[in-house]
Amino acid sequence: MNQAIRNTWIAVVLLFVLCLGSLSYVQFFAASDLNNNALNKRQLFREFDLPRGAILVDGKPIAESKPSEGQFKYQRTYTDPELYAFLTGFYSLTNSSTQLESVMNDELTGQSQDQFFDRMINLFSGRANEGASVELTIDGKLQKFVYDLIPDGTRGTIIVSEPKTGNILAMASKPSYDTNLLAVQSSKEAAANMKKLLKVPGLSPYVNPALGNLTAPGSTFKVLDLVAAIESGKYNADTVMKNPAKVTLPGTTTPLGNFFGGNCAAKTEAPLSFIVAQSCNTPFVEISEKLGAEPFEKVTKNFGFGQQLNIPLRVVPSVFPPNLDPAALGQSVIGQRDVKATAMQMNMVAMGIANGGKIMQPNLIKRVIAPDLKVLSETKPKEFATATSKDVADQVTDLMRGPVKSGTAVRAQVPGLDIAAKTGTSQIGGSTLVNSWITGFAPANDPQVAVTIVFEKIDFKTGSSLTSPNLKKILEAVFNQ
């Protein structure tokens, strides 16, 4: 063999080995990444031709794939789309997928590990893979009820959960949108519909407001202050404190006052129980000066601030900035400045206090069901964290009864029902608008539900008329009062 033939033979062998190695890498190592790549339309086109599993509430589909005579064999359709938009998300050829349609995609397309043997059987039998159905913990009637409590034209969110299990019974927000508009098979039409939706004030089809909107929590944050104060051993419900109309933040000339128009002015000195009931601000600045930043950092972390959480939808971590100076801390402990929380986070605070200091993992998925109705997985209650002791949680519960009995949440009263709640109003710099909050639970002596309501960028009078009164309506509905 002469040298030229030998070199050609070596080059051919090397090219053959290179091709074999590349094919092996693509088939066995990169296949998953390539299939999941958002730019890989082949995978998406293949999925659109398969019967995708349903998303169920009370056993009825709120998202399902129906046979189609269009470009693809199936059309994704949504029932009561505005009611469930931020839970189901959408499944779109042009705009990808969001919310449960995205995070539960493996189950809905039949590609989860639990469906491996079904796929093997289908491989040999020649049957097409079918996706599993995903049943939610949502109570359909309650979801509709709380959704209707949010007036059109407002930016509101309501969450109702079970403190003892972490199951979410209702999670609704407005403004909402019709997910069917984005699931159309025409890419041009889907893109045009998305463009219109993105122009709706306060709406992003990509963000679930309950999980993704970070808002200053106002005085609902004082629930966490109470945990820090009581854990220090220096405060209890009877601790008498100075309650001036205004204080000067430490090291500054900046004044911080009690909320204008409240009942705090009735007492220049008052026990902590009165201060909490009337949501006075200035005593909490004094508490922050005496305790320093560390206890507040610890408590917020224990209740979930700064932590990544998936329910399985991703919850944006709430923020309590570290290393605050005394002036910044004084503003932060009343839920202002750079403190930001999601509605889900403040619902977890209520759940933790309601459940004796233990926060259960918030959860939206009841079970996953195979096409043959076999239960592939069922979610069991799981502890997220022990945020504080039962004794401290019980003391905070007692203090949270005050706003409902005789304070800022008195309009939430339901005769015969023991309720614990805390209101909050956070001011928006450079605006006359506020964020109106309430978070609480009932019955306070044996909590069955935790409720969190927030209305963003709303005038104070309207916001306060939508928080405590709506908590009352929700509890009346839950307990058939």
- CA nearest neighbour of 384 among 318, 321, 436, 308: 308
Contacting residues for 245 by C-beta, under 8 A, at least 6 apart: 257, 258, 264, 265, 282
Instruction: Please say if 187 is a catalytic residue.
Output: no
Contacting residues for 12 by C-beta, under 8 A, at least 6 apart: none
- Cβ–Cβ < 8 Å for 457, 433: yes
- Report the alpha-carbon angle 179-452-216, nearest 5: 90
- Cβ–Cβ < 8 Å for 366, 357: no
Q: Which of 219, 318, 332, 468 is catalytic?
A: 219
Amino acid at site 45 = F
- CA nearest neighbour of 387 among 230, 215, 162, 159: 230
Q: What is the β-pairing status of strands 133-136 and 55-57?
A: parallel
Cα gap 184→192, rounded to integer Å: 11
Let me know how many helices (H) and strands (E) the chain has, helices first.
18, 21
3-state DSSP helix/strand/coil percent for the chain, to nearest 5?
A: 40, 20, 35
Indicate the DSSP class of residue 161: E
Amino acid at site 166 = G
Positions annotated as catalytic residues are 219
